[in-house]
Structures are given as C-alpha cells and as structure tokens.
Amino acid sequence: MTGHDELRCMLMRGGTSKGAYFLAGDLPADPAARDDLLLRVMGSPDPRQIDGMGGAHPLTSKVAVVSASEHPEADVDYLFLQVGVDAPEVSDRQNCGNLLAGVGPFAVERGLVPAGEAETSVRIRMVNSDDLATATFPTPGGRVDYTGDAEISGVPGTAAAVVIEFPPGGSPLLPTGNVRDTIAGTEVTCVDNGMPTVLLAASDLKITGYEAPKDLEEDLALADRLREIRLTAGRLMGLGDVEHTTVPKMTLLAPPRDGGAVTTRTFIPVRCHTSIGVLGAASVGAGLRIEGAVGHDLARLPDGDRLRIEHPTGFLDIETSVADGAEGARPVARRTAVVRTARKIFDGTVFPRSAGTAPVRHAQGENG
C-alpha cells in the first residue's frame, strides 16, 4: 500500500472516456476509505473538479481498479467506479465498456499479465456485474504498442485496435420478461446485454432524436419524463431504487441519417452522452434485433452481425447476434464484439488533496 498523500496512478483514455487506473493493492481495502480517497484524487465534489484529475464531466471522472483474478476463466479483475463530479458520490452500480479498453494494456504495463511477442489477449472479469470479456491488442516485442490506424468516432487521430469480445452473459436479455413495456404512457424495451438500457423511440417523446446533446439537456420537460420512466424501469428490471445511480441508461432512437442502423441519444442519467458507451451500444444492438422491440421497425438492419450505431459525434461499430430462446423462451444474446482503442496518457504519482469533511455517498451494487 502506498501512502495516501501520494498514489501510483496511470491516466488512460479508454474508448471515448478517460479515467484513472489503479492497482487494487495501491488503494485502501475498505470501500469507504477508498471512495473518500478517490473523490480527493478526482477533485470532487466540484463542478469544475479544479483541484483534481477529473475533467468536469462524467465521461472523464472515472476510475478502473485492476487486480489479479482468482476466477478460473479470467486473468484480471476490473472494478469500475463512477466518481461524481459535483456530488460526493462513488458508484459501482454499473460497468464501463470504454475504460474496459484500457484494462488489458494496463494489466500488461503493471506486470499482471505477460506480454506476447506480437499480440496479447487478456481475459477480464468485470467485477461490477461478474461478466467476462477478452481484450486483444498488439504487443510487438513484448511491449504494449498504442499506435495504429484504428479510428473511433469522438477521439482525434488513430491508435492501435483493441478487439473486445464478450461471451453470452448469464443475465436475461429482456430483464422484465417482456419485449415491450409501457411506462408513463410510453412504450419501451428494457434490455441488458452488458449494460441495463431502456430503449425509447425519440418521436414518442416529441423530439426528433437528432438534437445536440446540450439542447436535450436543457429540455426540462424531457428530463422530467425520462426520470419518471427510468425510476420505474429500474424497479421492473430488478435494479431496485435507481434514484442515485446511473443505470439503467436511457437511449432515444431515431432512423439513421448517415448510413448506419440507427441514430441514438443516450442519457447517463441526466447528461446526454456525446457518443455512446460500448456496453450500452451492445444492449442497443441486441435490442434492435429482437422482433417487436422498440427500435426494431425504425432501424435499418444490415445483413451480417455488424451494426453501425450512430451517435452525436459519429458512430460505433458493434457485432452482435441474437438467437431465439429454446421452446419459445425469450431471445438470448449469442455474440458481441467491438473494436475500440486506448492510450496511456501518463504513468506516475498523483497527490490527492487533503482529507476534508464532505460526506461520501457510496452507491453499492450487488457485487460490491
């Protein structure tokens, strides 16, 4: 354990998010002490996060905690923590598929997994949900190479491809048991293919689905309606009271405009995502393939497994397939894979601000 006045840390961009990566052994074992320390590292609570590493937005106020895994099908464990920006809150209620892209390279950098001579595959257990993923990335000469020609929307330039494949999860694809539910007079599809997500047709909410995120965030009537739907959907999906969590995600769907399968606007939960999360896109992609689900009819579904999910700053390509359940049971996800990129920004020592008196609110998940 390092001293809490200084802490070993690697700042990485993973997909379209940015976060601080830590070895579990470098953080306090007690969750309350850990969360207090991370709030001070990130500079929360403060809408500017001026006194820490956070970037004043949920997408840049994230933490990955990585350790060697005892799971027989995993090399490392990855715990994702969402650190509140202007609230003293740390949540482990969800995964983050974007920071997941950096977990494999980080594990190699920290010596948890040996590097291959050309490429390395790291098997990852996502502690938040107990799901598994395998990340494969280039390691020429036994060193992580972050350079390459893979390009993802929302990130300038190019980088090495990180191919992430998800085996079918154990959770029901349709957690309410229904292809459609009606909540607050609005038809929705509740789907979970790695991220609890509620699919809604934008037109049912009296918007086009092509608005800029900022404009949607300023629509107070829309915010109130989404909140009402989300709170009810959370209970129906078995998530309990989601008042102080960021799940389920709320994804508004509209017909594609740029050659993709569908256009999306996703709320997390009150900020509108400038792109879309990897696991959220996995849930959207699976949901679109279910006949009768919200979005199935308005989407342009191509042949093959690959779907292009349009979002405010471009697109995300994801490969997903869904199979009918046995003997008339509900559909099940069969395969999900995505190409992302990651980059090491700095590796060094972070100095948390001094301990204060702000209370810590820990939103604990089932596996927390």
CATH of residue 93's domain is 3.10.310.10
Same domain, 206 and 324: yes
Same domain, 302 and 235: yes
- Is the preceding peptide bond at 255 cis, omega within 30 degrees of 0? no
pLDDT confidence of residue 335: 87
Q: Tell me, yes or no, whether 335 lies in a domain.
A: no
Same domain, 326 and 245: yes
Same domain, 162 and 204: no
Enumerate residue ranges in the chain where pLDDT < 70: 1-4, 169, 325-329, 357-368
Domain that holds residue 317: 181-330
Q: To 5 degrees, how large is the angle CA 295–CA 242–CA 315?
A: 35
Name residue 240's amino acid. G
pLDDT confidence of residue 4: 65
pLDDT confidence of residue 368: 31
| Separation CA 241–CA 151 (nearest Å) | 38
Same domain, 17 and 138: yes
Same domain, 41 and 142: yes
Same domain, 29 and 82: yes
Q: Is the whole-model pTM more than 0.85? A: no
Same domain, 156 and 11: yes
| Separation CA 198–CA 226 (nearest Å) | 10
Q: What would the two tokens of residue 340 be?
A: 């992302």
Same domain, 325 and 188: yes
Q: Which residues neighbour 215 within 8 Å (Cβ) at sequence distance 6 or greater?
A: none
pLDDT confidence of residue 328: 61
Q: Tell me, yes or no, whether 338 lies in a domain.
A: no
The number of folded domains in the chain is 2
Same domain, 20 and 110: yes
